[in-house]
């Protein structure tokens, strides 16, 4: 199965700053990659699919890029509600697999 | 609006069984593949099982194959997960989620999750 590796494990950012999260696939997943946000006690929420397409209702400050094996989620200006754990997921190969997550915390 | 409501979790002894259920509303249930994804305490997300839109095809993660069975009732808009021979490693929050048509895809809506604790 494809292994998804996210880095860093924890990212400390001040409100208003830019956050850049990375996700690497053990082999190419084309653009079949999604990003999710999860807050404590809540279900994951879809942010990005197709590597760069924003899901319905997701603020424009969230953007995704990349293809093949290297992907990036960028939050242009962190708001208080953005502090959470972020997961990437590939759906190119079976079984679909998730990365281990990046926790974005307040600096 | 789309809703997935998970239920059935609880505390169960190793070796016993439990049945989870997910009630769906707000969309054409019979056109979506339905999945269960779980999350162990403090850990990441793990895909568990999927059932096709018509219920004819089912696939499982290696970790649960032979012990878990997924099923659906398109007349009631529900999907179930029968979990047998439970082990402590099955302790997790279980989420029902969906993909549009295909077994593979991104998960656009999720249930709120139901906690399963396997402990003696």
Of A36, A95, A99, the CB nearest to B47: A95
Q: A95, A98, A102, A103: which to substitute to probe chain B, counting the most B Cβ within 10 Å?
A: A95
Of B44, B47, B110, the CB nearest to A100: B44
For residue B100, the model assigns a pLDDT of 86
Q: What is the DSSP string of A11-52?
A: EEE-TTS-EEEEEEESS--TT-EEEEEE-TTS--EEEEETTT
Give how far the C-alpha of residue B43 lies from the chain's centroid of Cα atoms, to the nearest Å. Answer: 17
Question: Could you give the percent of chain B with pLDDT greater than 90?
Answer: 96
User: Mean pLDDT of all residues in chain B?
Assistant: 96
Pick out chain A residues at pLDDT < 50: none
User: Which chain A residue's Cα is nearest to B5?
Assistant: A43
Question: How many Å apart are CA B10 and CA A81, to the nearest integer?
Answer: 31
Question: CB contact, 8 Å: B113 with chain A?
Answer: yes
Chain A residues with beta carbon closer than 8 angstroms to that of B59 = 94-95
Beta-bridge mates of residue A73: A21, A64
Q: How far is the alpha carbon of A49 from chain B, nearest alpha carbon, in Å?
A: 7
Q: B1, B36, B44, B96: which to substitute to probe chain A, counting the most A Cβ within 10 Å?
A: B44
Question: How many Å apart are CA B41 and CA B113, to the nearest integer?
Answer: 13
**B95:A44 CB<8 A:** yes
**A44:B59 CB<8 A:** no
Question: Could you give the percent of chain B with pLDDT greater than 70?
Answer: 100
Span B50-105, pLDDT tens digits: 999 999 999 999 999 999 999 999 999 999 999 999 999 999 999 999 998 788 89
User: Which chain A residue's Cα is nearest to B111?
Assistant: A43
For residue B103, the model assigns a pLDDT of 85
Find the distance separating the first CA and the last CA of chain B, reported in whole Å: 40
Q: How far is the alpha carbon of B73 from chain A, nearest alpha carbon, in Å?
A: 24
For residue B101, the model assigns a pLDDT of 74
Could you tell me the CA-to-CA distances from B20 to A12, A73, B53, B74 in Å, in that order?
Answer: 37, 34, 19, 16
- DSSP type of residue A94: S
**Residue range B27-54: mean pLDDT, rounded:** 96
């Amino acid at each position: 199965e494809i292994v998804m590796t996210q880095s860093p494990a924890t990212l400390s950012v001040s409100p208003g700053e830019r956050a850049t999260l990375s996700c690497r696939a053990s082999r190419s997943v084309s653009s079949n990659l999604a990003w999710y946000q999860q807050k404590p006690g809540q279900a994951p929420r879809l942010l990005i699919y197709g590597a760069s397409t924003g899901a319905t209702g997701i603020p424009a400050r969230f953007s995704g890029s990349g293809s093949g094996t290297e992907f990036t989620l960028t939050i242009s200006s962190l708001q208080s509600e953005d502090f959470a754990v972020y997961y990437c997921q590939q759906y190119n190969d079976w079984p679909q697999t998730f990365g281990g997550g990046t926790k974005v915390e307040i600096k | 609006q789309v809703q997935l409501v998970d239920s059935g979790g609880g505390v169960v002894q190793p070796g016993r069984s439990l049945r989870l259920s997910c009630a769906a509303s707000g969309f054409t249930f019979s056109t979506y593949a339905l999945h269960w994804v779980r999350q162990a305490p403090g850990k990441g997300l793990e895909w568990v099982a999927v059932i096709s839109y018509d219920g004819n095809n089912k696939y499982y993660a290696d970790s649960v194959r032979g012990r878990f069975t997924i099923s659906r009732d398109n007349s009631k808009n529900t999907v179930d997960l029968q979990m047998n021979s439970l082990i402590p490693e099955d302790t997790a929050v279980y989420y029902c989620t969906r993909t549009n048509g295909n077994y593979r895809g991104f998960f656009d809506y999720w249930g709120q999750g139901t906690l399963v604790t396997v402990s003696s």
